[in-house]
C-alpha cells in the first residue's frame, strides 16, 4: 500500500510539473507586428512571436527580408520585393511605432507589442 501511495504521489507531481510547463508561456517571447507597404501600395501585415532580440533576426528567421548581395548589412528585399536604388532611387524605409529607425535593422532591438513598418520608398522627397 505504501508503494502504491508513493507511486501515486510521484505520478501526481509529475503530471503537475508537466501541465505547469505546458501551460506557462515563454517569458522571453515577444509579440510584434510587421507591416509592409509595397511599391504598388499593397499593405501586408504579419503578426510575429519570437525569442529573437533584433528586428533583422526575426525578419530573416521569418524569411521576410534578404540582405543585398552587393552590400553586407543592407536589406534590399522585403516580402519578396527588391528595392534597387539604381532603379528610380528605390529603398525600404523602416520604422517603429511611426518613428523612422535611426539605426539599421541589425541594431534595432525588439520591443514587445511594437509595430514595425517597411515602406517601399523612392528618393528622399
Give the residue ranges of DSSP H helices in 24-123: 55-61
How high is the pLDDT of residue 125? 63
What is the DSSP code (8-state) at residue 54?
B
In sequence order, what DSSP letters do the residues of 35-77 get, joined into one string? EEE-TTS-EEEEEEEE--SBHHHHHHHTT-EEE-SSSTT-EEE
How high is the pLDDT of residue 60? 96
How high is the pLDDT of residue 20? 40
Given the DSSP bridges, would you call strands 65-67 and 75-78 parallel, antiparallel or unpaired? antiparallel
Greater model confidence, 19 or 108? 108
Domains and their CATH numbers in the chain:
30-122 (2.170.130.30)
Q: What is the pLDDT averaged over residues 30-56?
A: 98
How high is the pLDDT of residue 28? 85
pLDDT at 7 over 70: no
Determine contact, residues 97/112, Cβ cutoff 8 Å. Answer: no
Supply the pTM of this predicted model.
0.76
Calpha distance 59→35 (Å, rounded): 11
pLDDT at 12 over 50: no
Give the pLDDT confidence of 47-80 residue by residue, as tens digits: 999 999 999 999 999 999 999 888 888 899 999 9
Amino acid at each position: 500500500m505504501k508503494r502504491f501511495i508513493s507511486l501515486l504521489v510521484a505520478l501526481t507531481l509529475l503530471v503537475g510539473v508537466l501541465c505547469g510547463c505546458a501551460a506557462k508561456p515563454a517569458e522571453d517571447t515577444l509579440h510584434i507586428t510587421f507591416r509592409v507597404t509595397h511599391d504598388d501600395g499593397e499593405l501586408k501585415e504579419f503578426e510575429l512571436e519570437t525569442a529573437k532580440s533584433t528586428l533583422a533576426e526575426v525578419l530573416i528567421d521569418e524569411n521576410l527580408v534578404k540582405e543585398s548581395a552587393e552590400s553586407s548589412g543592407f536589406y534590399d528585399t522585403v516580402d519578396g520585393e527588391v528595392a534597387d536604388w539604381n532603379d528610380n532611387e528605390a529603398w525600404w524605409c523602416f520604422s517603429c511605432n511611426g518613428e523612422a529607425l535611426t539605426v539599421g535593422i541589425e541594431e534595432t532591438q525588439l520591443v514587445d507589442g511594437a509595430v514595425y513598418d517597411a515602406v517601399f520608398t523612392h528618393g528622399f522627397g
